[in-house]
Amino acid sequence: MVVVTLQQSSQFQQTLQQVGAKPVFVDFFATWCGPCKAVAPLYEQLSNTYSQALFLKVDVDELEDVAQTYGVTAMPTFLCFKNKQKVDELRGANPKALEDFVKKNVEGVAEAGEDEPGLPKGQINLGSLVDASKSECLNQSDDHVLANLLEKSGYLESDVDEQLLITIAFTQNVKLHSFKLQAEGPTAPKNIKLFANLPHTPDFDSAEAMVAVQEFSLTPDDMSADSIINLKFVKFQNVQSITVFVKDNQGGEETTKIDKLSFIGSAISTTNMNDFKRVAGKKGESH
């Protein structure tokens, strides 16, 4: 796993909502904080060691409201969340204390992928890195929308005809290895096209005419609960968003229904020590 630096306050609650019981560690830091800079490499190392947890960073000057919500007054402060609730806190940049803090809170939690049998070795479900605020779907019905899939609260269904245009955005660039699409019966998707890093979601005529990064003609077996659909890995090495164009469905039905959609791969590390350059004129409390 790698450290994800949040860019927007809305991402914080969205991430907690999506990961469920998975431990989420948050490093509240400031660019002018010397101890924050010193402990950052260890935090990155821990994120790679403990793949069963998610590691986030919050710049207290950029996302001041998040820091205030959780009473962060000293940097660095490390919080641990489970099931959307804060369960533990550590202040200061003590390396041994930070290692113990993480180890204690991941005890008994399965490593990444173990709760999803059959995931390729070294790959994870990227659901925790989906940016719901930038994801969208064209031609979704009013009652069965993309948010249902992202929040695992229901299914997605098309509206006026069988076609769907789904764009999934990620909070940071990722490498895509494969995906899982669960659906069944005559309303399940059949022919789909995938596009990467489009500047915006195209209209349906444009999607029909555009050359896809990869196309699939899905069978019912491809969309079973245990199936994984492999991608041309070399073509999805640096992905910020993925667009799925569903052209038709298995039975020529008026609407298309998708029960689950998830992407599998790995995050590209965004930690950059240049981010920790001192900001002139800023002062703050640190341990």
Q: Which residues are catalytic?
A: 33, 36
Residue 89, H or E segment: strand 85-91
Give burial (CB, 10 Å; 0-12/13-18/19+) of 8: middle
Give Cα separations from 98 to 41, 69, 204 (angstroms).
12, 22, 50
Centroid of chain to Cα 78: 21
Residue type, 128: S
From CA 156, how far away is CA 232, in angstroms rounded?
A: 26
What single-letter DSSP state applies at residue 17?
A: H
Q: Is 159 helix (H, G, I), strand (E, B) or coil?
A: coil
Name the 3-class secondary structure at 145. coil
